[in-house]
């Protein structure tokens, strides 16, 4: 247990950092670039991105970090006297509530709605500005939560 907890915390930190970087890229320039395209091109590009992201490597990092965060949270609750326990617990909760929950409850439903539209349709053209605005707003939250989780995991390892 003495070596498992630091290893799981380290893996959680790495995963949170990778996901934070991915989300940061979308928040800082990818969505802005897509929003500058004509709606049909932006929609088609985002639909392609949303399909391509569904791959084993992304799932391993995204959900693997969720799994390690769950274990780290449980161990933090069991070892509350440990000086890093609070940081581990907060980091885990930030990752589970930010990237995981927000993705499932907010970003995925927007992606699914966009996926059901023909890129060149009037419906997609009308939905696209709202999609970009809402998706990006929720992505900002995911980015901040991932970064905060990373910071907490790093502090727990000190």
109: Cα separation from own chain's centroid: 14
> Residue 1: its pLDDT value, please?
64
Torsion of CA 133, 40, 33, 147, to 10 degrees: 50
pLDDT of residue 27: 98
Q: How many domains does the chain have?
A: 1
The DSSP 8-state label assigned to residue 28 in this structure reads I
Identify the domain containing residue 102 by its residue range.
4-157
For residue 2, what pLDDT is reported? 77
Neighbours of 153 (CB within 10 A): 31
Per-residue pLDDT tens digits for 79-125:
999 999 999 999 999 999 999 999 999 999 999 999 999 999 999 99
């Amino acid at each position: 247990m003495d070596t498992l907890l630091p290893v799981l915390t380290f893996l959680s930190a790495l995963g949170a950092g990778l996901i934070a970087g991915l989300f940061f890229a979308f928040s800082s320039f990818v969505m802005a670039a897509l929003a500058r395209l004509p709606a049909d091109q932006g929609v088609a590009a985002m639909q392609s991105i949303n399909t391509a992201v569904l791959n084993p490597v992304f799932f391993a990092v995204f959900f693997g970090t969720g799994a390690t965060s769950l274990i780290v949270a449980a161990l933090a609750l069991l070892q509350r006297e440990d000086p890093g326990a609070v940081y581990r617990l907060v980091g885990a909760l930030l990752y589970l509530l930010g990237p995981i929950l927000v993705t499932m409850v907010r970003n995925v439903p927007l992606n699914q709605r966009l996926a059901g539209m023909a890129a060149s349709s009037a419906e997609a053209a009308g939905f696209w500005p709202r999609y970009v605005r809402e998706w990006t707003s929720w992505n900002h939250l995911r980015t901040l939560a991932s970064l905060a989780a990373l910071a907490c995991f790093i502090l727990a390892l000190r």
